[in-house]
Chains A and B, each alone.
Chain A
Amino acid sequence: MKKPRVAFFDFACCEGCQLQVANMGEAVLDIIGLIDVVEWREVMSEKWNGKLDVAIVEGSITDPHAVERIKQIRKRSKIVVALGSCATIGGVNGMKNNYVLDEIRQYVYGNSYQFFPTEATKAVHQVVKVDYFVNGCPVYIPELVAVLKAVLHGIPYDVPDYPVCVECKLNENVCMYDRKVACLGPVTRAGCNSWCINNGNICYGCRGMVSNPNEKGAQDVIAKYNISMDLIVNKMNMYNKCREIG
């Protein structure tokens, strides 16, 4: 059987999720053995302009050039995998959408700002169809491996559609709310095995929200624990601003 042709691409991101791929340890060798990597800017200099079986895309889409480029990638790829928060939900780049675009363009590029067109930040699936989502900032290696296996197997990977609390409780962590600390676990999609909370941190919502969150209920909880709504909205917008685009 011919090995599937795979390429990695990056858009607006820190490239940390591609680094996670390299951090997979032994699994990366096994995977590399099963695929034919034709382009991966972070680790090799070759380029590939032909057809692809799998395009693994990191980063969010933030300017007209990127829109065009991702559309081209989609056209020549059988499968598109969105890798990491920037690609799956817009991620921290979405914070740009809090501002008037022209104002921040001027702020960043000064007088020559008109030469640098920009757009509201979008997740990859808000521009082209995405077949697989690997959420997280950065991606969680066991889930990354599970998704890659599903891709190679040709079967869908379902991102859990329940909150991080489920995994957190099973890990027997003391609830952040018991420690009087606001945490986004209750509305954030699981799949990371409550990685951050296991290590003493809160959930920042980097995996996006569950599909049917009880917003009214969440407000009651926020009130019960005496947390300001602004604080929660700000925390939420750090990763999830792009969900407003729909």
Chain B
Amino acid sequence: MQYAILRKERFNDFIARLSEIQKLVAPVSKGYNNFAFEEVTTGDEIALKYIPTILPAKKFFLPRRETLLEFNDAKGANAEASVEYEPVTLFGLHTCDLSGIQCLNMVFSERPKDYNYITRKNKIILIGLECNEYCDEYASCHLVNASFPSGGYDLFFTDLGDYYVVHVNTPAGDEIIDKTESFEKAEVYQMNELKNLRDHKRKIFINEVPIDRSRIPELFDLSFSARVWKELEERCLACGNCTNVCPTCYCFDIIDEIGLNMKQGVRYRVWDSCQLEPFAKVAGGINFRKERSARQRHRYYRKFSYPVERFSRFFCTGCGRCTRTCMAGISLKETLNELIKESEDRVWRRWL
């Protein structure tokens, strides 16, 4: 069965059953138009209409703190590498967040492989939820090709009024359909409605920034010394919010912690951010990205340039979190617009 139907009156029943299988996580409202992925057991708790959560789903794949080694005797090198994980089902991920997880999968599956990540990833079930329209003006998901579903999930829900059309993408997804006993077979008219929605979406989701997707790497090739970065120097507070909320930022620090007996301890990793002052500092005191402008530039290049060379895809998912969270009002779309404008100026000048 490739497509199934969940009638809305059965939604709460489905969620209740789903939460019985294993821990279920879904977007919930935190007030003030903020949302977070948190554990739920009933459908009522879920915010079905939500803007991207404060933190993306990466927190389940790459916990903000995770043990890498454990040891019983700090003198010596006897340490055990292990991973703690919890089988979990994530419900309600938008296509931007699914895209973010695909990015992380590529990074951590690349050699040398990261088995902490891979082990945990294999225990997570992903259920997507389509955005029928833009969440808000900060999103730029179409620019980076993340406005439509393209894999990376077990099940994918599309709201079509009285019912959801559900794409069953994996055997694990199939199993959920069977176990929860809430689904019907999709009829031809329902599939047509799905097609109509997608056609409609193609009209409303348009490039949020006036540039052809394929030209973005070229734009960045030309923009390393752009004025924009200098402007960001004055505005950025270096608080690291933009990277912490980014679904594809994965930089980390590794720290040792020892017990009071000075024997037992752990080596763990924690999220870190290239935006923070100490990030690129070496022991001698030199900071290789001392200016906030260089750090901001690094962030943008890590979204639109470097990963294109390495993984052939953008590491921006267009979710808009970095813009929403920035107190200084640094906007991804604006920055890109500025870069485009500046590069056009440069082209014009060459002709004049």
Does B240 lie within 8 Å of A217, measured CB to CB? no
A43 CB–B CB distance under 8 Å: no
Question: Chain B contact residues: over half helix, strand or loop, or mixed?
Answer: loop
From 118 to 159 in chain A, residues with beta carbon under 8 angstroms from any chain B beta carbon are 145-146, 149, 152-153
A174 CB–B CB distance under 8 Å: yes
From 48 to 74 in chain B, residues with beta carbon under 8 angstroms from any chain A beta carbon are 53-55, 64
**Which residue on chain A has the smallest CB distance to residue B234?**
A216
8 Å CB contact of A172 from B30, B238, B328:
B30
B159 CB–A CB distance under 8 Å: no
A46 CB–B CB distance under 8 Å: no
The answer to whether residues A165 and B241 also contact, given A31-B260, A172-B30 and a CB cut-off of 8 A, is: yes
**Which residue on chain A has the smallest CB distance to residue B55?**
A172
Quick check: which of A3-11, A48-56, A99-107, A218-226 contacts chain B, the rest being far away? A218-226
Tell me, in angstroms, the Cα distance from A216 to B328 when the chains sit together: 10
Does B54 lie within 8 Å of A169, measured CB to CB? yes
B179 CB–A CB distance under 8 Å: no
Interface string of A164-180 (1 = CB under 8 A from B): 01100110111101110
The answer to whether residues A212 and B235 also contact, given A169-B54, A220-B328, A221-B328 and a CB cut-off of 8 A, is: no
From 188 to 246 in chain A, residues with beta carbon under 8 angstroms from any chain B beta carbon are 210-214, 216-218, 220-221, 224-225
Tell me, in angstroms, the Cα distance from A174 to B53 when the chains sit together: 10
B170 CB–A CB distance under 8 Å: no
B342 CB–A CB distance under 8 Å: no
Does B260 lie within 8 Å of A161, measured CB to CB? no
User: Least Cβ distance of B37 to chain A in Å?
Assistant: 9
Tell me, in angstroms, the Cα distance from A155 to B245 when the chains sit together: 33
**Which residue on chain A has the smallest CB distance to residue B290?**
A212
8 Å CB contact of B236 from A165, A172, A214:
A214
Does B240 lie within 8 Å of A162, measured CB to CB? yes
B222 CB–A CB distance under 8 Å: no
User: Least Cβ distance of B349 to chain A in Å?
Assistant: 30
B254 CB–A CB distance under 8 Å: no
B34 CB–A CB distance under 8 Å: yes
Does B258 lie within 8 Å of A220, measured CB to CB? no
8 Å CB contact of A186 from B53, B237, B244:
B237
**Which residue on chain A has the smallest CB distance to residue B258?**
A149
From 251 to 290 in chain B, residues with beta carbon under 8 angstroms from any chain A beta carbon are 257-258, 260-262, 271, 273, 276-278
B211 CB–A CB distance under 8 Å: no
Does A170 lie within 8 Å of B237, measured CB to CB? no
From 304 to 326 in chain B, residues with beta carbon under 8 angstroms from any chain A beta carbon are 325
In the complex, which residues of chain B have a beta carbon less than 8 angstroms from the beta carbon of A187? 237
In the complex, which residues of chain A have a beta carbon less than 8 angstroms from the beta carbon of B237? 163, 165, 186-187, 213-214, 217-218, 221
8 Å CB contact of A214 from B30, B262, B292, B325:
B292
The answer to whether residues A217 and B262 also contact, given A161-B278, A166-B244 and a CB cut-off of 8 A, is: no
Tell me, in angstroms, the Cα distance from A214 to B231 when the chains sit together: 13
Tell me, in angstroms, the Cα distance from A175 to B261 when the chains sit together: 39
B101 CB–A CB distance under 8 Å: no
The size of the chain A interface, using a CB distance under 8 A, is 37
Does B277 lie within 8 Å of A172, measured CB to CB? no
The answer to whether residues A162 and B34 also contact, given A170-B55, A217-B235 and a CB cut-off of 8 A, is: no
Interface string of A86-122 (1 = CB under 8 A from B): 0000000000000000000000000000000000000
The answer to whether residues A175 and B325 also contact, given A210-B277, A217-B235 and a CB cut-off of 8 A, is: yes
In the complex, which residues of chain B have a beta carbon less than 8 angstroms from the beta carbon of A213? 237
8 Å CB contact of A212 from B240, B245, B277:
B277
Tell me, in angstroms, the Cα distance from A178 to B30 when the chains sit together: 12
In the complex, which residues of chain B have a beta carbon less than 8 angstroms from the beta carbon of A186? 237, 239, 327
8 Å CB contact of B328 from A145, A178, A217:
A217
3 A-B pairs with the lowest CB-CB distances in the bound complex, closest first: A165-B239, A162-B276, A30-B260
* Chain B residues within 8 Å of A, Cβ to Cβ: 30-34, 36, 53-55, 64, 234-241, 244-245, 257-258, 260-262, 271, 273, 276-278, 292, 325, 327-329
Contacts A145-B260, A174-B31, A174-B34 known; list 20 others, CB within 8 Å: A161-B276, A162-B238, A163-B239, A165-B241, A166-B244, A169-B244, A169-B325, A178-B34, A179-B32, A186-B237, A210-B238, A212-B238, A212-B277, A214-B234, A214-B235, A216-B234, A217-B234, A220-B235, A220-B328, A225-B327
What are 11 A-B pairs with beta-carbon distances under 8 A?
A: A149-B258, A153-B258, A169-B55, A174-B31, A174-B34, A212-B277, A217-B234, A217-B235, A217-B236, A220-B329, A224-B328
